[in-house]
Structure 1
Amino acid sequence: MKKAKPVFRAVIQATYKENFAFRSNMAVSLIVQPIYFLVQYSIWRAVFQVHDTVSGFTFKTMLFYFAVSSLLGFLNWDDADGTLQRLVQNGKFITFQLRPIHHLYYAFFQKVGHRILAFWVELVPILGFYLLFGIKPIPARPFWAIISVALSFILAFLINYTIGTMAFWLVKTNGIRRAVLVFKDVCSGIFLPLTLFPEAIQKVLFFLPFQFISYVPARVFMGSYELAGITLSIPQIVGLQAIMVLITYLLNRLVWYFGIRRFTGVGA
C-alpha cells in the first residue's frame, strides 16, 4: 500500500493536468445548470402557490434539496463506465493487466483528479449562483454530511464502474449503458425527491443502492431522513449507506471476476 500511494498521487496529478487543458468543456455546465435551476424554480414556485407543503417539503426546503443534489451531481460525476467500455472494445485494456495497480483503483483516482478540477471550475461558480437566490447549502450536521458525501462519491463510482463491466460480455453497450444510467439518476433522486414517488415505488427504492448517491446525502444535509414511511436518524442512514458501499464493492468484485475470466478466455 505504501508503494501504491505515490502511484495514486501521480494518477490524480496527471488527470488534473490533462483535464485542465480542456476545462472549457466543464464550463458549459455554468450555462446549463442555471437554466435548469431556473426552470425548476419556476415550476415549484407555481406548485407551492397552491400547496404550502408537498411530501413534507416547503418551497424553501425544495430549493435547498435541488441545490444540494445538483452540487452532488457535479461532485459525483465520472465516466468510469464509458472509459472501461472503450478500453475493452479497442483492446487497450490488456495493458492494465500488466500494470502493478488494479484498474479499479486507477480509475477511481482518475475520478478524484478530475473532480478536484471540477470543484473550482463548476461547483464554486454554481454555489455562488445559488447564493444569489438566498440558498445556502450548509449542512445541518456537518460531520455526518461530510461522511455521507464521501460515501456517495465512492458509491457513484462503483456503480458506474460495474455498469462498464458489461463490455466484457457485449460488443456494443452504449444503448444499454445509457438506459441504466438514466434509471440510476431517476432512482437516486437527482430529478425529484424520492418521497414524491408512489409509496409502492418508494419501498422498492429503499432497498436499491441508488438513493445513497443523491437522496440520502441531500437529506443528511437537511438533517432528517424519511422514505417509504421509514424514518431513520442521521447516524443510522449514514451507517446504512456505508453498508451499501461495501455490498456494491463486493458485487463489483464478483462481476469483475467473471468478466475478466471471459476477457482472458477469448484470447486477450
Structure 2
Amino acid sequence: MNNIKHRFEVIKAVALVTYKEWSAYRTHSMVSIFVGPVYFLVQYFIWNAVYGNQGAALHGLELEQMLRYYGAIALIGYLTMDFADWNLQMLVHSGKFLTFQLRPIHHRFFALSQKLGHRVLGFLFEFLPCFLIFQFIFKIDMIPKYLGFTIISILFAFFMNFYVNYCIGLSAFWLVQASGIRNVFQALSSVFSGALIPLVFFPDFIQKLLFFLPFQYTTYVPAMVFSGSYTLAGISMSIPQIVLLQGIILLLTIGLSEVLYRRAIYRFTAAGG
C-alpha cells in the first residue's frame, strides 16, 4: 500500500513539474489548436470531392461517418501524442541517462509520468478547444457512441503509444545513430495507423497483417471505438471485443518493453556506462 502511495506521489510530482515547464511554452500548444481544424478542413474537401453527389458509402463508411472518423483522429492525437523515443535517445547519446541509474526511480516510470503532465496540458489547450471547434463550428457530432469504452480505448492507445515509442528509443543502446529507426517507424506508423486513410481501404492481406502490428491499436482502433463499430480485413468485432484485444496487445507490448529495457541496461552497465 505504501509503495502504491509512493508511486502515486512520484507521478503527481513529475507530472506537475512537466506541466509547469511546458506551460511556459503553451503558445506552442495554442498554435497546434489550428493544426487539427486545418487537417480536418483538408479532409473535408477531399472526401466531399471523393463522395461527390452519389451519396454511396465507401467501404461501409458514409460521408458523415468519414468526417467523424477524421475528427476523432485529430482529437485522439492530442491525447496520445508521445516523444518518449526521442527523449530516451537524447539521454543515451548525451550520456545523461547515467544520472537515472543513480536515482531511486525507474526511468521508464519517470518518462511515463512526464507524458501524463504533458498530455494534461494538451487536453486543456489542444483537445478541448478543438472539440468545441469540431462540435459547434464544423457541426460534426463528436460525442462517442460508447463513451466508457472510448475512454478505455484512448487510455490503452495512450499507453500503447508510450511503450512502443520507448521500445524504439531503447534501440539507442545498440545503435550509434538510432534516429533512422525512429524516422522509419514514424513513417510506417503515419501510414498504417489509420491517421492518413482508414485501414479498410488497404488491400486485404495488409489489413490482416495489421492485426499483428502495433500501428492500428494507437489510432485506428480508438477512432473506430469512438464511431461505435469495428471492421478490418472483413472481420467485424464488437466494441468490447476489440477493446479487449487492444488491451491484450498492450500487455504484450509492456512485456516486450521490460525485456528490451533489461537487456539494454545489461549492455549499458557491461560497457561501463
Q: TM-score, normalised by structure 1?
A: 0.97
1:29 aligns with 2:60: no
Matches of 1:30 and 1:220, distance apart in 2: 24
Q: Tell me which residue corresponds to 2:164.
A: 159
Q: Residue 193 of structure 2 contacts residue 217 of structure 2 at CA under 8 Å; is this kept in 1?
A: yes
- The answer to whether the 8 A contact 1:203-1:228 is kept is yes
Identity of aligned residues (%): 48
CA RMSD after TM alignment: 1.2
- Alignment deviations for residues 233-261 of structure 1 (CA, whole Å, 9 cap, x no partner): 11111111110010000011111121111
The CA distance in 2 between the partners of 1:128 and 1:3, in whole Å, is 37
Give the alignment of 1:79-90 within 5 angstroms: 79-90=83-94
The yes-or-no answer on 1:42 pairing with 2:45 is: yes
Measured after TM superposition, the shift of residue 66 of structure 1 is 0.5
Aligned length: 268
- C-alpha deviations, 1:192-245, integer Å up to 9, x for none? 111011111101112212211111111111111110011111111111111001
1:174 maps to a residue whose letter is S
Among 117, 121, 133, the alignment partner of 1:129 is: 133
1:74 to 61, 73, 78: 78
| Aligned-residue offset at 1:51 | 5.5
For residues 91 and 35 of structure 1, the distance between their equivalents in structure 2, rounded to whole angstroms, comes to 40
Distance 1:178 1:51 in 2: 38
1:232 is matched with: 237
8 Å contact 2:85–2:165 — kept in the other structure?
yes
Letter of the structure 1 residue corresponding to residue 216 of structure 2: Q
Question: Who is 1:63 aligned against?
Answer: 67
Letter in 2 for 1:146: I
| Alpha-carbon offset, residue 124 of structure 1 | 1.3
Q: Is the 8 A contact 1:223 1:234 kept in 2?
A: yes
Whole-angstrom CA distance in 2 between matches of 1:146 and 1:4: 23
The amino acid across from 2:99 in the alignment is T
**Alpha-carbon deviations, 1:33-67, whole Å to 9, x = none?**
32222111110000111551111111100000000
2:256 alignment partner AA: L
Distance 1:141 1:32, change over 3 A: closer
Q: Deviations over 1:161-192 (max 9, x none)?
A: 11111110112122221111121222111111
TM-score by length of 2: 0.95
Whole-Å separation in 1 of the counterparts to 2:147 and 2:174: 42
1:251 paired with 2:246, answer no
- Offset at residue 32 of structure 1 (A): 2.6
Q: Is the 8 A contact 1:85 1:165 kept in 2?
A: yes
Using the TM superposition, name which of 62-71 and 205-214 deviates more.
Answer: 205-214
Describe how 1:68-147 pairs up with structure 2 within 5 A.
Answer: 68-131=72-135, 132-147=137-152
CA distance in 2, matches of 1:112, 1:19: 12
Partner secondary structure for residue 28 of structure 1: helix
Cα separation, partners in 2 of 1:136 and 1:15, compared to 1, 3 Å: same
2:182 and 2:58 mapped to 1: Cα distance? 33
Structure 1's unaligned 5+ residue stretches are none
Structure 2: which 5+ runs fail to align?
none
Q: Which runs of 4 or more aligned residues in structure 1 lie more than 3 Å from their structure 2 counterparts after TM superposition?
A: none
Q: Structure 1 residue 11 and structure 2 residue 14: aligned?
A: yes
Q: Distance in 2 between matches of 1:235 and 1:32?
A: 32
Instruction: Please give the secondary structure, in 1, of the residue aligned with 2:37.
Output: helix
